[in-house]
Amino acid sequence: MTATDTHRAIDAVWRIESAKVIAGLTRIVRDVGLAEDLAQDALLAALEKWPESGIPDNPGAWLMGTARHRAIDILRRDKLLDRKHEQLTHELKSDQESSAPDLDAAIDDHVGDDLLRLMFISCHPVLSTEARVALTLRLLGGLTTVEIARAFLVPEPTIAQRIVRAKRALSDAKVPFEVPRGDELQARLSSVLEVIYLVFNEGYLATAGDDLIRPTLCEEALRLGRILAELAPSEAEVHGLVSLMEIQASRTRARIGPTGEPVLLLDQDRSRWDHMLVRRGLAALERAERLGGSAGPYQLQAAIAACHARARVASDTDWPRIAGLYAQLAAIVPSPVVELNRAVAVGMALGPAAGLQIADQLTSEPTLKSYHLLPSVRGDFLAKLGRREEAIAEFTRAASLTKNERERSLLLGRARSTASADT
């Protein structure tokens, strides 16, 4: 194996093992910033030694063992001799000695609990949404600062500052390394799910730039969601979110045309959908439903996605059921965006006039003033009703509002096709 091949293999190992290593170290040192520094030191040691010695049979355990040695060295170097740190050093030594013959146990022990705790720390409400996203991708996704910045089209120093400030904020707030319980668990779980879905949505439909889709972000969000579903198997909303992401991700290949242009859902070639992901999504939805209780927002959105997934052709879509599910969603999480989606479903179920009536009520909504999908939806209804001049104006306005070049081209194309249909 060449040095380049080894470095690629190390990068792959880091993506897989880094979250486990950082989570395990955070349990030991009780400081997520220090834990990441220790893990990075272990990675540098691997980059130095593995090209010569070869990649060990259990690379994750090697990284953990190396990081633990480093933790002891830091404690000794800094002469932390108060009772608490003496005890911590003793625990580190004992843990290391007892597990030295079996490094598999060193990395796997507590790994599920540790990863879950790390998720709750990374997504703690004390942090801003942007900081939660950046820290989660860094600690749990294994992405570098450069990769996160590139994915979100944000300057690298901005992402670096967010990560540094997030770790400092967690330290200053003395956030405990634990899984919350009771009402706090539900509140914090909502934050974790929100972060994962934000990452997925940015990958599924990029808010800016030349690319419609950023697959890396979709893949990372799906991976995090699947991990969370294993760690919290009794939480219906976790399975609901995984179901939603699996089904949406199944359409990736069909969402882009030959020249990179977006292909709308009803125009997609459904034979190009990834039916393995569809099956996984439907299975996750079934798990959520078996847990019982009232369906939450992610489970309801997954049920909507399932209606599309079960339709062999677009004309088979159960639009009345989708409209009903959006009504349920609006009842528990009132939102102008949800109402706009309900307008689309109602328009498909009962006709464009009924959908336009709902959409028209949203034109005075301040939060949708710069939301390009409102004029896009209205343009579609107006075109179907034969009000072409108004439709052209709406498509043109929608194009001026979006920051994504692919979407802008699509909307301007719809304006042109509507105009040509009028001649």
Residues 73 and 40 in one domain: yes
Are 206 and 244 found together in one domain? no
Q: Is residue 302 part of a domain?
A: no
The CATH number that applies at residue 130 is 1.10.10.10
Is the same domain home to 10 and 77?
yes
Q: Which candidate, 400, 393, 361, places its Cα nearest to that of 379?
A: 393
Q: Which domain holds residue 25?
A: 4-109
Residue 384: inside a domain: no
Tell me the two tokens of residue 220: 């990372």
In a domain, 382, yes or no: no
Give the whole-angstrom CA distance, residue 145 versus residue 139: 11
34-62 burial by CB neighbour count: b if 16+ within 10 A, else e? bbbbbbbbbbebbeeebbeeebbebbbbb
Token pair belonging to 282: 């439907």
Instruction: Determine the pLDDT at residue 90.
Output: 59
Q: Identify the pLDDT of residue 319.
A: 97
Contact 200, 224 (CB under 8 A): no
Domain boundary among 279, 297, 315: 297
Rg from Cα positions in the chain:
25
Q: Are residues 102 and 162 in the same domain?
A: no
Nearest residue to 121 via CA among 111, 108, 135, 107: 135
Beta bridge partners of 209: 404
Contact by Cβ (8 Å): 161, 26:
no
Pair (237, 189) in one structural domain: no
Give the sign of the dihedral formed by CA 224, CA 227, CA 231, CA 234.
positive
80 and 166 together in one domain:
no
- Is a pLDDT exceeding 90 seen at residue 24? no
Q: Residue 368: inside a domain, yes or no? A: no
Which range in 54-58, 104-108, 410-414 is most confidently predicted, on average pLDDT?
Answer: 410-414
- Would the pLDDT of 417 be above 80? yes
Asked if residue 270 lies in contact with residue 254, where contact means CB atoms within 8 angstroms, the answer is yes
pLDDT at residue 98 above 90? no
- What is the distance between the alpha carbons of residues 118 and 136, in angstroms, rounded to a whole number? 9
Tell which of 109, 126, 154 closes a domain. 109
Cβ within 8 Å of residue 91, ≥6 positions away: 28
* pLDDT for residue 422: 57
Q: Which residue has the higher pLDDT, 302 or 137?
A: 302
Q: Are 411 and 402 in contact (CB under 8 A)?
A: yes
- 3-class DSSP state of 317: coil
* Token code pair at residue 149: 């910045």
Q: Residue 124: what are its φ and ψ, rounded to 5°? A: -65, 140
Instruction: Looking at the structure, tell me whether residues 150 and 258 fall in a common domain.
Output: no
Tokens standing for residue 214: 């950023």
pLDDT tens, residue by residue, 145-204: 888 887 777 889 999 999 999 999 998 888 888 877 777 777 788 888 988 988 888 888
Contact of 305 with 243, CB cutoff 8 Å? yes
pLDDT of 147 reads 80
Q: Please give the structure tokens belonging to residue 45.
A: 């040691």
pLDDT, residue 20, reads 87
In a domain, 376, yes or no: no
Q: Which residues pair with 404 in a beta bridge?
A: 209
- Region 349-361 average pLDDT: 97
Looking at the structure, do residues 101 and 55 belong to the same domain, yes or no? yes
Residue 273 covered by a domain: yes
User: In this predicted structure, what is the pLDDT of residue 232?
Assistant: 86
Residues 6+ apart with CB under 8 A from 306: 243, 247, 281, 282, 285
Same domain? For 105 and 190 the reply is: no
pLDDT above 70: residue 243: yes
102, pLDDT greater than 70? no
- pLDDT score recorded for residue 99: 44
Mean model confidence pLDDT for the chain: 86
State the pLDDT at residue 206.
Answer: 65
In a domain, 61, yes or no: yes
Which of 80-84, 210-214, 216-220 holds the top average pLDDT? 216-220
- In Å, how far from its chain's centre is CA 349? 31
In a domain, 336, yes or no: no
pLDDT tens column, 314-325: 999 999 999 999
Distance CA 136, CA 76 (A): 31
Residues 247 and 157 placed together within one structural domain of the fold: no
Of 262, 297, 332, the last residue of a domain is: 297
pLDDT exceeds cutoff 70 at 257: yes
| 133 and 84 housed in the same domain | no
Residues 130 and 219 in one domain: yes
Domain count across the chain: 3
Please report the sign of the dihedral spanned by the C-alpha atoms of residue 175, residue 180, residue 184, residue 189.
Answer: positive
Query: Which sign does the torsion angle of CA 51, 52, 55, 59 carry?
Result: negative
Q: What mean pLDDT do residues 386-413 have?
A: 92
* Confidence tier at 87 by pLDDT (50, 70, 90): low
